[in-house]
Structure 1
């Protein structure tokens, strides 16, 4: 990927090559890339200090907690030792990790000596990414300067590696934003660009039966010019006008036209088919509509054709139609279509020469 960035100390701009770490690559073994695809992943170490108990503080004074990772230190606000509720999250960018361990110190207010510490080996820290469930905090024994864990108390902590898409990112103390006041951390939010899982929607408009025109006497005055408009979201395609045939009745138009759309998960949109009659240039009349939820459309992963289906059309011009339930219509118009969501290949959203992801949409493949 190429971009224009400031280069060196001069004011000139030059091309600089970047190599973003795309989530879900075929060679990636990172758990985060397999569960939550991001356009570019940024790794963070998260440390949540919840609370402490059984602290040896004379007179129930105030205590503070510090999280240290190499040269980076995060300090938690002072709280009463009787109710040591910290509930603070710290994040450290992965490029800030200089040591193989992170330490959590508990101290009395205005004293240099600490009551004890808890430390974690970063090689044993778990990785998670939404929508994985959050890690539950655990109680850990605090060890004093001599390594004794029997008298110093306990601290509740959870620690994990995640990305900037983590739910805790917005509320966390950030190592790269340490110049902010603690109250300003709520304004530090992430820029998350999700890579949507896209599919091709293939719609074959085959034919319709028993269409009823809106204008009286239309059959005797002219041959109806039926065509179909198919819409998904802001994508709109249409068939050509049905060609007259001696083997078909005028109100049984035939198109056999394949149309392709691009849709993305979650499949919350609808497929709208509208059969229209071109009465004259610049004047069309809707003679039937069909609405299909995308979530009900069959999916396919190979070149096997899905079975075609007949649908009852919502036709207000039909005096025999049952508007509350079209399936119970005594004499109604129908439309014959074949629709499928194709996940056997990748939806191209980049220049072919520079495509960074060519995996099929279907996870089975």
Structure 2
């Protein structure tokens, strides 16, 4: 195992610990003293809190100056009295920077008392006339424990040097089944009961049933099931309201039940076992009105709050003791950044993996920040992704600006290898792709148990319930959206809060992959082409061999083919041996660096401005009608091409599908006769002879090849399909 800060670049800091003062003099006519301390190094200044009417104040505050500002000769510790018009000088202590001691890592200088002098550096005969201050001043690094409690000083002011750690709330799926009701009464006693619905509300999650059957009955039945997301510790209760439709768009409540999540009626269901239903009395003064509900906390599911392709946690919402031990440790060094865009002067980094979030300190007034922070996470599955994003701190004036995002899949990391590289930070906006700079990271994955890690590759990613009792895709999207809202709300209430826009960006809250994007469609099309390019290249090579474009290659193929025919036991071993050779050959070309956001692959650099404007448009469209019409016509044109390709693929498949189904009796008869002939030939003819005949047919010399299509191809082209039945 490596040391805690083995990958960090050591950065020097001048640390000043202001502990307390004693015997300070009074400064006004009332005899009061409101002291505070000003720590000053050249143009940099830090100020402690002021304490009212206290001649023996205790501050216990620490400040840190970066080594980049140590060109100044003197460090001044000034005690002042806070006044209405002008703060008065009480006394000061001056240190020569060259005389300040440098301590070894994780050391801390013991504070001591210093006599205060006046503005001219003069002390009075009575050594207690200006009082004394307890200080500790030394040179250290960011790896020191004391540095984590300090405030960094820059030309813009103070910022806390301690990084913050947050944890996502524990999320659970709540399953609610609304079965039936009995003895309902309408809002108007002199009128019959109208159609009734049941409304389920859990916080901001609101779902409604269809009208109960039979409509207008006092004992309606719904038999509908809903799922919502809850978090521990539970805050909002479950509210079920029965409403009567009294007009168009008008629903009047006729009964309500409020059930706390800590109620014994809400059972934890780890294995999706049958849960009994229960009758609940409705409120609103209705005598005898009840509703039949079935509720359970399905803790066997993993609650998704991230995109499925970028999940960093795959555990079910079970008790912590049921979690399996970690298979490894992921260490991430957030070293620094460079070439940040204009206007990015107060950057900080947020990293998320699993339930743990980390926010670095904010570095002020710099476009080349150096954080040099190391953080670790337990790894339970290598099929997970860590997300690291950079933001520009607006100090509450506006939303923090997005600078870019980096994702690293644990499975791409070699064990015990440190990857240190710069990752491009890019942001796609309606005006185009913006290059925001580069983030410097060092990443290392350390394996604890090789057997457990290798066994992971044979296990499903998600818990068993996702496969035995899957949640539909539309419902999963809704639940993920609500889970993200819940995480953003909970982390926004932390102290200090993790801002909502930060959480939303990390979780891809505004993910628009479900919306049409011409840029993304082009990118996916070219991905498809690259995927099938080896198959097309192989087919072209085979066609060249059949046409004897390179006689030497064709002769070699014939020799290899005849050898395999004569010794059929070598066929499968040769196939696997070829695969082994391909994998071994690709070892030298394996990726040396970790993958990152690829603007070229995403077609973001060459995207037309109108395409980006369409991609970032709202739904429904908010652009002028003529522009929407133009985009619609363009979409129709593109969809027409896709439709043509889809129709051609369906045509080829239907020909094969309908061939044995007698849609064309003559073609099916010919097909059946050919099958009978092939069965007899294959039974009476040795396999080697059949294989050689196939070879002689496909690899025959060019002077025996006809330029017209073959009989088999002509027969296939004449087969029946549904193409002629389309309107």
Aligned runs of 1:1-365 on 2, under 5 Å? 71-77=12-18, 79-80=20-21, 87-88=60-61, 100-107=105-112, 109=114, 172-174=149-151, 177-179=152-154, 185=158, 194-219=167-192, 224-244=194-214, 250-296=217-263, 297-316=266-285, 318=286, 321=287, 332-362=288-318, 363-365=320-322
Change in 2 beyond 3 A, CA 1:110/1:178: farther
Higher RCO by CA contacts (8 Å cutoff, separation 6 or greater): 1
Aligned partners of 1:301, 1:92: CA distance in 2, in Å?
Answer: 53
CA RMSD of aligned residues (A): 4.4
TM-aligned CA deviation for residue 352 of structure 1: 0.9
Structure 1 contact 213–287 (Cα < 8 Å) conserved = yes
Aligned partners of 2:20, 2:247: CA distance in 1, in Å?
Answer: 80
Change in 2 beyond 3 A, CA 1:80/1:244: closer
Change in 2 beyond 3 A, CA 1:348/1:269: same
TM-aligned CA deviation for residue 205 of structure 1: 0.5
3-state SS, counterpart of residue 353 of structure 1: helix
Structure 2 contact 171–317 (Cα < 8 Å) conserved = yes
TM-aligned CA deviation for residue 299 of structure 1: 2.4
TM-aligned CA deviation for residue 105 of structure 1: 3.5
Structure 1 contact 274–289 (Cα < 8 Å) conserved = yes
Aligned partners of 1:356, 1:252: CA distance in 2, in Å?
Answer: 47
TM-aligned CA deviation for residue 75 of structure 1: 1.4
Aligned partners of 1:70, 1:281: CA distance in 2, in Å?
Answer: 69
TM-aligned CA deviation for residue 310 of structure 1: 1.4
Structure 2 contact 19–58 (Cα < 8 Å) conserved = no
Aligned partners of 1:70, 1:264: CA distance in 2, in Å?
Answer: 41
Aligned partners of 1:199, 1:259: CA distance in 2, in Å?
Answer: 14
Task: Choose 1 or 2 for highest CA Rg.
Answer: 2
TM-aligned CA deviation for residue 196 of structure 1: 2.3
Change in 2 beyond 3 A, CA 1:349/1:81: same
Listed as ranges, the gaps of 5+ residues in structure 2 are 5-9, 24-55, 67-102, 117-134, 138-142, 323-727
Structure 1 contact 278–284 (Cα < 8 Å) conserved = yes
Q: Which structure shows the bigger proportion of residues in helix conformation?
A: 2
* 1:179-227: CA deviation from partner (whole Å, max 9, x where unpaired): 369xx648788666542221111101011111112223434xxx74221
TM-aligned CA deviation for residue 261 of structure 1: 0.7
Change in 2 beyond 3 A, CA 1:160/1:303: farther
TM-score w.r.t. the length of structure 2 is: 0.27
3-state SS, counterpart of residue 255 of structure 1: strand
Aligned partners of 1:189, 1:103: CA distance in 2, in Å?
Answer: 17
Aligned partners of 1:306, 1:91: CA distance in 2, in Å?
Answer: 59
Change in 2 beyond 3 A, CA 1:73/1:239: same
Change in 2 beyond 3 A, CA 1:210/1:342: same
Structure 2 contact 16–63 (Cα < 8 Å) conserved = no
